[in-house]
Amino acid sequence: MNLAIHLFKKDFRHLRVLLVLWLFLVVLQSVLIGTGLAAAAGDVVLQIIFSMIGMLIPLLQYIALVVIIPLLVQDEPLVGTTAFWFTRPMARQDLLASKGLFIGALLVLPPLLAELIMLICNGVTPRHVLLAVPEVLLTQLCTVLTIWVLASLTRTFARFAVVGIIVVIAMWLVMAGLAIAQLLQGDVFKKLNEFSLTESRGVVASAVVIVLCSIAIVHQYLTRKTARTIAMACLAAAATVAITSAWPVDFLKTAKRPVQGDILKGETVSVAMDSSDKLYSSDAFSFRSSATPKKDLRGNLTVSGLTSGLAASIASIRSKIVYPDGKTFIWDGDGNANLTRMANNNQWDSEAIRHALGGISIVNEKEQSHSYETLFELDSDLFYKYGEMKGVYTADVALDVYKCERVATLRLQKKARFDSGSEHVVVTDVLREPHGCSVILSSKNVKLLFAADARPEMANMMGKQKALYVLRNQKLGQAFVPKQDLNAGASMWMLQMNERLVNMPIRSRYESDYKDSPIDEAWLADADLVRIEAVEVGTLSKSLRIEDFVMNVKKEKPNEKRKPSIKPPASS
Amino acid sequence: MSYVIETHGLCQRFGKTEAVKDLTLQVPQGSVFAFLGPNGAGKTTTIKTFMNILEPSEGSATVFGVDSRQLGPGQFSKIGYVSENQELPEWMRVGQFLEFCKPMYPSWDDGFCGKLLKQFNLSADQKIKSMSRGMKVKAALLSSLAFRPQLLVLDEPFSGLDPLVRDEFIRGVLELTEQENWTVFVSSHDIDEVERLADWVGILNQGRLELAEAIPSLQARFRQMEVVVKDGADVPKGLPESWLTPEKAAHTIRFVESRYLENETETKIAVHFSDCAEVTAQPMSLREIFLTLARTYRLSA
């Protein structure tokens, strides 16, 4: 062990300049994530600049690792026959220990500590801080060990660079090949729908890379049998590719529980086609011009019988149409319909909001749009053949039931704040506008793979908000729901995809041209901001049956006020 | 007699190329063993194999009685190894390099190290990267001598050394070998220098050990023979196998007798040269013996 320390000191002296640079980058990244974006809250330009710098620093950190690790490892190279240390009284175990100590203490631990300190300083709960540890280690070890393996199989930095480039290109080609194969098979939407599965695969692949690379490194240090170590490294690469594309267990999927007990009288809840509305059909979008043309059939589904204060959103539809000639069409509801649904599910149920607000009047309720669900999709020629025919439409509709809860009231002024666990929201500005106002909020929260309550989800990527800020005037008994400027928030969110601490600006616009309840200075004087959260109640599965179902119904353009966020399909 | 290095049926293959073939060798303790051979003979490969830099393809090698595959810090702390191709940590200065080596060797002698530093005309502040090849060899030698090794393995150590340092180095090694009973295994092309240094010699040709013998014994059995014949006849056929590289120059037939015993050799000459007028037998230097053998191997190849 004394020799290991002796070697550690030698390496420290050798690489001290690069280490200072590396540690500077580590600290700078944490400071930027932890304080930079928060300090720039309300200033979009500064936020974008900080985000860009925030993206550049990880790249610089990676470059630093790619330089430091080969220099460290190749000071005592493990391949070739001319290295000085081969014939010196230097135990291989001591050499491995010294390199491991160096990499662990100076290249893995500092980023971990910096991130944990940054999370603590930003008010993240101890539980979330602890759950961040395996995630940070997984990422950092995966990177460091991969570079270490390559460095231990090459004698000089130039060779390391060449081999590294070859490996990166080879991996890219393999992954691109798999992606192309999936594209050709039309699995793109399916993959997007499997967001948590992709995350699970990433975790397993990282763990396997860590284990196999560790074994390869130990093997190379203790035996210097390079051919066998290369075989192990190839195995690790193959395993990564296989797991990334085929690992079946989605252990990061947030389990949805069925509705429990008396919260709902399940039997009374029903799903029906809105009789006041009509069916719309359109040419279905396809990624391939050569694909068989398809038709989308959409309609407005209503859920009734929910206990007061509860709302439901449609999670999935699996449907079937049976015609008198015995022809049966089945649609499993996968594909782009799910993504469209996710994009539409950022709309909140007005009745549930009103219930959470204690029955207060929502002035701009009528502006809330309806979603047109895809009820069926089939080949165009079949659509025209059976379009005028009457059939029986049946569907299994999965519902996500939620309720709205009022969790906090914020004063309508700068620096008013909401704190709950690791989440911290601050009002950074209130902007008066001709027909209302905009409230700029700075929201800070964690995004952690191993914390079920802070796990990134596809729905969030699609712009779904966990909380809604309603502008309320208690005295007048009026409230406005926001028109959220989702693009700003989503783009900032995307910029920070690699970070565990997410600083996201939220711009909530409250607009009204109602003469009887305008949002003017007098109205705002008594207004406050109510945070409403959607609390999941459970899932419910319901059947829908429509007799005499005709697909190709003549229809008129949908009412502008009821325009869904995804354009309704054109009439066929 | 105990042996510091021993190999038994040692083979080293690189793909289809057999660099060392069935090598059986013994290096006596306290000897200075010169390992000679033409370029590509397998000298460096042999050394790398018994130093555990390469693993034998077949056979075995031992150093201090330990299998070469098992050589570890315990043995390497008694072995000084210098190779012309050895890569030193170039970012270090000479002083840093010596300080780095020192804790690895319990027998490190600071005084001796300082003396060698002066003798080799090295400065502790010099950066290894900026040194010439010869200076680097000196630095490697210094770090391999300062702990007074029991075995010194030198693979082409003289390349790049100036004549003065070379001379001093040889004198120093000879002195230490005598005083401290060091064993030195030296491979070199520089036969003249090795002759001054060595008391044992091994000659390797195309991976095969052609001979391994104490130099006095070798020089005793090799003689440059000159036979003056009266009628200037050609070199007769059917000469003994031990007569190497026979050639004719005017009335003189020259050859090297590799099993020289005064009476026996004279008898054999009388049998093959009936009109022999004069016979001279001259002792040979190691260089002459090596060149004779090298020529013989090339002819036989």
CA distance B150 to chain A (A): 14
- Residue B13 belongs to a domain: yes
Closest CA to B102 of A89, A78, A99, A83: A89
- Residue B137 belongs to a domain: yes
Both B111 and B144 in a single domain? yes
DSSP A264: S
Both B90 and B116 in a single domain? yes
Torsion of Cα atoms, A29 then A34 then A35 then A38, to 10°: 120
CA distance B277 to chain A (A): 57
Single out the residue in B166, B187, B217 at which a domain terminates.
B217
Q: Is A227 on the interface with B (CB under 8 A)?
A: no
Single out the residue in B172, B190, B217 at which a domain terminates.
B217
Both B121 and B189 in a single domain? yes
DSSP B258: S
Question: Can you give the C-alpha Rg of chain B in angstroms?
Answer: 22
**What would the two tokens of residue A468 be?**
């809604």
Closest CA to A568 of A318, A282, A284, A328: A282
Both B110 and B232 in a single domain? no
CA distances from A92 to A157, A222, A422 (A): 21, 6, 46
Both B112 and B231 in a single domain? no
**Averaged pLDDT, B51-61:** 95
Q: How far is CA A546 from the centre of its chain?
A: 37
* Chain A residues inside the 8 Å CB shell of B185: none
* Chain A residues inside the 8 Å CB shell of B85: 82
Residue B177, CB-side half-sphere exposure with 13 Å CA sphere: 22
Question: Quick one: pLDDT at residue A561?
Answer: 41
DSSP B127: B
Give the 3-state secondary structure of A514-529: CCCCCCCHHHHHCEEE
Single out the residue in B195, B217, B239 at which a domain terminates.
B217
- Residue B296 belongs to a domain: no
Q: Is B104 on the interface with A (CB under 8 A)?
A: yes
Q: Is the Cβ pair A82, B86 closer than 8 Å?
A: yes
Q: Indicate the domain borders of chain A.
A: 2-246, 266-562
- Residue B57 belongs to a domain: yes
Cα separation of B5 and B27, whole Å?
A: 5
Interface probe, candidates B68, B100, B141, chain A, greatest A C-beta count within 10 A: B100
Measured between CB atoms, which of B77, B85, B87 is closest to A89? B77
Both B51 and B169 in a single domain? yes
Q: Is A532 helix (H, G, I), strand (E, B) or coil?
A: strand
CATH number at residue B205: 3.40.50.300
**What would the two tokens of residue A360 be?**
């207060």
* Chain A residues inside the 8 Å CB shell of B86: 82, 84
Cα separation of B60 and A49, whole Å?
A: 66
Spatial strand order in the sheet of B252-257: B243-249, B252-257, B223-229, B276-283
DSSP A510: E
Cα separation of A192 and A186, whole Å?
A: 12
Q: Is A86 on the interface with B (CB under 8 A)?
A: yes
Q: Is A14 on the interface with B (CB under 8 A)?
A: yes
Q: How far is CA B7 from the centre of its chain?
A: 16
The predicted complex's ipTM stands at: 0.88
Both B159 and B265 in a single domain? no
Q: Is the Cβ pair A84, B87 closer than 8 Å?
A: yes
Q: Count CB neighbours of B151 within 10 A.
A: 20
Q: Is B113 on the interface with A (CB under 8 A)?
A: no
Closest CA to A397 of A263, A203, A541: A541
Question: Quick one: pLDDT at residue A260?
Answer: 66
Both B85 and B28 in a single domain? yes
Both B149 and B264 in a single domain? no
Both B131 and B245 in a single domain? no
**Mean of all residue pLDDT scores within chain B:** 89
Parent domain of B254? 223-283
Q: Rounded to 5 degrees, what angle do the CA atoms A539, A544, A550 make?
A: 145
* Chain B residues inside the 8 Å CB shell of A2: 103
Both B198 and B235 in a single domain? no
Q: Is B276 helix (H, G, I), strand (E, B) or coil?
A: strand
Question: Quick one: pLDDT at residue A221?
Answer: 97
The mean pLDDT values, 10 residues at a time, for chain A of 572 residues are: 91 97 92 69 72 84 97 96 94 96 97 93 94 95 96 96 95 90 70 77 95 97 94 93 89 76 65 74 76 83 82 86 90 67 66 88 69 82 86 90 90 92 91 86 88 74 73 91 60 52 83 75 91 87 87 53 39 36
- Residue B72 belongs to a domain: yes
User: What are the CB-based long-range contacts (under 8 Å, 24+) for A40-44?
Assistant: A41/A426, A41/A428, A41/A440, A41/A442, A41/A503, A41/A505, A42/A428, A42/A429, A42/A440, A42/A442, A42/A505, A44/A488, A44/A505
Is residue B98 a contact partner of residue B140, using CB atoms and an 8 Å limit? no
Write the CB contacts of A395 (distance below 8 Å, at least 6 apart in sequence).
Answer: A317, A318, A319, A320, A375, A543, A544, A545
* Chain A residues inside the 8 Å CB shell of B53: 81, 86-87
Question: Quick one: pLDDT at residue A30?
Answer: 84
**Averaged pLDDT, B262-287:** 86
Q: Evaluate if residue B124 carries a pLDDT over 80.
A: yes
Both B263 and B157 in a single domain? no
Number of structural domains in chain B: 2
